[in-house]
Structure 1
């Protein structure tokens, strides 16, 4: 049996243990004192604000942090021959662009294919010991179902219609992402790590992924912004936002058993109880401080002793002094203890100021009548020819499976792509487009060392940046405004792109998969702000959570 085959099956009961993990990248603290365990069969969803370190944590477990990153603490995936194989779905595909789809998939199941060859070799000529070992391993790997698993993965992830002799480099970005996911699932690592696995999945593909994860025997740790997916796939939630401690420094994680809805309820309960305790303690502190300051007499102030005798006066004075001293000392002791143990003031959370924060206090009359009219617009191989009419305040949700043309339609409406057929009329309005891919060009060619603040000023102009500072939107934490733009996570860079778009709110706002890479709290706030936007809004999304709660018009592609 080869060492590769042995390693493939060494840890059927792998456990992932993270203890006191901290990480810095380019001198910036990303993770602080994280500790939690993922047992076999558990599916833990990672959530947190953009930049909280979800991808960093996954890469740390995988052992693929960028050069120069430093860590402290431990990540235990076993040791020696019992070390678990760790597989990570991330942006870099596990196959070469020149590989065909078939070659890519065969590399994922190479161990199963080798076991099948070993079994055949042991059978002819027959070697009892070798055959027994080979048959045991073949049964553990279930090699007779390998072809069926490949077919199921291709069908489940919407790739079965593509010829398997096509080079992977010719696939679209979404198709390559789904093939990478198929490769990882077929490869069956002991510990499965997924970074935003549903970004390019439609409902059918998401359902397939959930079915695979539900039967996964090893630990599963995944970062996701997809609230519906978290609700149906996660058996537990870990929030990577520096866990606000009532008494100490931020750090660690907040863990909740159950799905995303369970977590939201638990988090709200903790916040309410924290705020109540803080309010009650501050009231008690105020009372105790006043008592220490004012409590210098006992009894009725100004009341004469019960007798005029000198001995009586001295007796009552001495008793009063002792009682006052005891009372003051008791109050001071209680005050010192409470001041030492009091909970922190609940930290103010970064809050999105809304889609029209840049024009707060001003009113703009929405355009009357149709502002966008599209008739049978088509792009060969990408958009089948839909028609739509959009009035000045309409809110439209564009849905459809992968490849149906949602992003292509928004590119046409934004004027970035000319249709091959049909007509498009945009009447007297500006369109603003938040694309799926983060694109923050440098109009002054200052290079990639621009700070976040500098990039914002370059893109909106100095005059506009003075009128509408980046801090207006509640999208970027003040501590990140002077960081190099390239050091930010994709989610944080997309927040900057959204701020640039909203610095001068357009009459027609186009949002392509707004939940991609953005934190759950921001996506929720963004969705809640859409109905009140004074102009027209077109959202392209496959997000089930959004679709179930949408109250405006719909266009199904």
Structure 2
């Protein structure tokens, strides 16, 4: 839920949206793109000329049909540019036939100006550079986009949008499927843009390098009177936003300090409210309870009584006025922040070492043609392995082989039989509805996945991954990040001895990713992570396996 969110993104600004999963980042991008209408307020975009799109949004839905080929999809992106070239050719032919016609001359000049501003004659070179930069050069142009992998389709959507070159660029998790080379290409493209860019990202290194400011959609310390209609028990319940100019690393410090100030202000205001409320009662009496004027005359009694009443009335009115003002302007209670309880919140996996202290898992020249070049590895109890490599090198394929979800075409893979394996996949696969088509609540999905007995013994709230109110919502109402949180909770309800995490930073909020990274070091089992996240790689202390794409030569 988004309430009273106001900010401006000017030309040249590159603003990063951050906040907990479910805080409304994707919703805000869709509102800015005109795909959703706000209940109140307005999102206004200034831009658009010569038939080009004013706003371009990268989100989960591809901007091309799955029946299109890669070449056809690219051509729909540059269609306005092709049209501009055709307009120049058409008007040039008309001018050749009527060189003295002033109207024809003006039409030619206008068509030429549009084409030059679109840099229309370099479009083929730009297409080639874009496909190479985003790791798509090896994808056949005649392949149907519906046959592409999820990562390839995501990168083609990004290429489509960047070639379209809208006036305003809106990006939802643009680096989720990009390797280092593709991320660097995107970084250069964004730094060279003159128009405004608004992006939601959980890529900490990318945020540090690209954005000029950050907008935090998590709850802010706003007056209580503005928050009366806002729920306080989940992400997105805050109104107003916090804008910060600087890197994400700097913001972490600033955010922690702001939270402490909010908590301190709330505590001080509540103390003052208690004092004022007590003061309103105490000020009904002036002086000692049994005090009487020295003289017993009726005139004196009336005089002192009237004076006492005026003093009491003034003090009571002053206290009431201060109380009413503070009750309206007090900040709301800082909402409880989701705190990840760790990978072993539901218990510790029983790690069984081989009798001869040998490896838990061995892989010898395992090979999946076209997806994974032959690779060998060995994992021991408690090992930590980071699998890296460019797009298409086979990181996800290797994790699926280890999990048993895929069999190698050649080579051997042996896992100690007593070890249980759990995989958090890159793609969210949890069902949104029951078999009869009825909505599936979060609580129902969790219970069905882990079993009623385990769900009762280890409720979903154990993990600190979703708020209490989210448990009764339909799964389909959750954000993509919240659904991945649910899948992580299901996996951790019975923590496996061998934990596999495929791109664990994708779609998860920055605070959760940070907590997850810390928890990995304390996990008693064996952990394998596949990731392109530079932040993780730069801080990784365990073993590494860098995969190389299979040679096609």
1:261 to 2:233 alignment: no
CA apart distance, 1:157: 0.5
1:97 aligned to which of 66, 70, 81: 66
1:184 is matched with 161
Cα distance change on mapping 1:162 and 1:304 into 2, 3 Å: closer
Residues 303-331 of structure 1: CA deviation (Å, up to 9, x unaligned): 999xx9979x9899879998788667655
Work out whether residues 448 and 485 of structure 1, in 8 Å CA contact, stay in contact via their aligned partners in 2: no
1:412 to 2:401 alignment: yes
Residues 275-312 of structure 1: CA deviation (Å, up to 9, x unaligned): 2222333334444555566678888999999xx9979x
Where do 5+ consecutive residues of structure 2 fail to align? 100-104, 228-237, 548-553
Moved more, 208-217 or 319-328: 319-328
Work out whether residues 38 and 44 of structure 1, in 8 Å CA contact, stay in contact via their aligned partners in 2: yes
Where do 5+ consecutive residues of structure 1 fail to align? 1-29
2:468 is matched with 478
2:240 is matched with 252
Work out whether residues 433 and 439 of structure 2, in 8 Å CA contact, stay in contact via their aligned partners in 1: no
Q: Could you tell me how far apart the structure 1 residues matched to 2:197 and 2:465 are?
A: 30
Q: Could you tell me how far apart the structure 1 residues matched to 2:375 and 2:311 are?
A: 87
Q: Could you tell me how far apart the structure 1 residues matched to 2:78 and 2:295 are?
A: 104
Moved more, 115-124 or 399-408: 115-124
1:76 to 2:44 alignment: yes
1:21 is matched with none
1:450 to 2:418 alignment: no
Q: Could you tell me how far apart the structure 1 residues matched to 2:10 and 2:284 are?
A: 61
Moved more, 450-459 or 234-243: 234-243
1:388 is matched with 377
1:512 is matched with 502
Q: How many residues align?
A: 520
Q: Could you tell me how far apart the structure 2 residues matched to 1:333 and 1:103 are?
A: 69
CA apart distance, 1:504: 0.9
- Show the 5 A alignment for 1:225-374: 225-247=202-224, 248-249=226-227, 250-288=238-276, 334-359=322-347, 366-368=351-353, 369=357, 370-374=359-363
Moved more, 125-134 or 387-396: 125-134
Residues 365-385 of structure 1: CA deviation (Å, up to 9, x unaligned): 633343222222221111112
CA apart distance, 1:85: 2.1
Moved more, 456-465 or 52-61: 52-61
Q: Could you tell me how far apart the structure 2 residues matched to 1:195 and 1:53 are?
A: 11
2:152 is matched with 175
Cα distance change on mapping 1:502 and 1:74 into 2, 3 Å: same
1:46 to 2:26 alignment: no
Q: Could you tell me how far apart the structure 1 residues matched to 2:399 and 2:30 are?
A: 33
1:19 is matched with none
Work out whether residues 443 and 459 of structure 1, in 8 Å CA contact, stay in contact via their aligned partners in 2: no
SS of the equivalent of 1:424 reads strand
Q: Could you tell me how far apart the structure 1 residues matched to 2:544 and 2:216 are?
A: 33
1:469 to 2:437 alignment: no
Taking CA–CA contacts closer than 8 Å with sequence separation of 6 or more, which of the two structures ends up with the larger relative contact order? 2
2:532 is matched with 542
Q: TM-score, normalised by structure 2?
A: 0.85
Moved more, 528-537 or 42-51: 42-51
Q: Could you tell me how far apart the structure 2 residues matched to 1:460 and 1:332 are?
A: 55
Residues 454-490 of structure 1: CA deviation (Å, up to 9, x unaligned): 1111111110111011111111222221112122222
1:195 is matched with 172
Q: TM-score, normalised by structure 1?
A: 0.84
Q: Could you tell me how far apart the structure 2 residues matched to 1:550 and 1:79 are?
A: 44
- Show the 5 A alignment for 1:132-211: 132-211=109-188
Cα distance change on mapping 1:51 and 1:289 into 2, 3 Å: closer
1:424 aligned to which of 387, 398, 413: 413
2:34 is matched with 63
Q: Could you tell me how far apart the structure 2 residues matched to 1:472 and 1:447 are?
A: 29
1:8 is matched with none
CA apart distance, 1:170: 3.2
SS of the equivalent of 1:189 reads coil
1:398 aligned to which of 367, 372, 387: 387
Q: Could you tell me how far apart the structure 1 residues matched to 2:160 and 2:376 are?
A: 38
Q: Could you tell me how far apart the structure 2 residues matched to 1:343 and 1:33 are?
A: 16
Cα distance change on mapping 1:489 and 1:332 into 2, 3 Å: closer
1:26 is matched with none
Work out whether residues 61 and 75 of structure 1, in 8 Å CA contact, stay in contact via their aligned partners in 2: yes
Residues 205-246 of structure 1: CA deviation (Å, up to 9, x unaligned): 011111111122222222212121122121222223354524
Q: Could you tell me how far apart the structure 1 residues matched to 2:304 and 2:4 are?
A: 57
Greater percentage in strand: 1
Cα distance change on mapping 1:474 and 1:436 into 2, 3 Å: same
When the two chains are superposed, the root-mean-square deviation of aligned CA atoms in Å is 3.2
CA apart distance, 1:434: 0.6
2:523 is matched with 533
SS of the equivalent of 1:397 reads strand
